[in-house]
Amino acid sequence: MIIPNTENSNTEKIADFSAHINKPFRRGSWKIAKDLPSSFKYASQGLGYAFLSQRNFRIHVFIGFSISALGVWLNLPFTDLAILVLTICAVLVLELLNTSIEAVVDLAIGRRFHPLARIAKDCAAASVLVCSISAFVIALLLLLPSILLKLGL
């Protein structure tokens, strides 16, 4: 674990920053979404980036659509379909956060090795894995009875 450096200059910087975050001003990033349509535009850019650059994201989108279509075809009750959609979205949201964490880690450390970078990336990837396993189990519990019924078993 790295202990933060609390030398005088850093303490001043932190105090300066703390004074700012309590004010009702927007934070100072390179560009700020000026209105709601711009916010949607940037969010869809993020979606597009994740879809084009992350193979796992594309796989999860494909599986999500297939499972949803199967649920509709099997005439699942609306509550079951809602649970399926929520579960699929949870996996996709974690994939997006995983991609975001990877980008931030790469931004901070670049191509150098750091054990904390490894922990950040591994744990972000593990969160997707845990959610995917639970989504698989939920899909199985909701779909299997209807599939067996359809097959006359």
* Residue ranges that bind ligand ATP, judged by CB under 6 A: 54, 56, 98, 102, 109, 112-114, 117-118, 121-122, 125
For this structure, is 7 an active site residue?
Answer: no
Number of H helices, E strands in the chain: 5, 0
And the tokens for 114?
A: 């750091």
Name the active-site residue from 76, 95, 124, 142.
95
Residue closer to ligand ATP by CB (options 41, 118) is 118
Say which residues have a Cβ less than 8 Å from residue 33's Cβ, sequence separation at least 6: 39, 41, 42
Q: Where are the beta strands (DSSP E) in the chain?
A: none
And the tokens for 28?
A: 């100072």
Torsion over CA: 45, 51, 52, 55 (sign): positive
26 is known to lie in a ligand binding site: no
Min dist CB 92 to ligand ATP, Å, is 13
Min dist CB 40 to ligand ATP, Å, is 25
12 is known to lie in a ligand binding site: no
Min dist CB 116 to ligand ATP, Å, is 8
Instruction: Provide the annotated active-site residues.
Output: 95
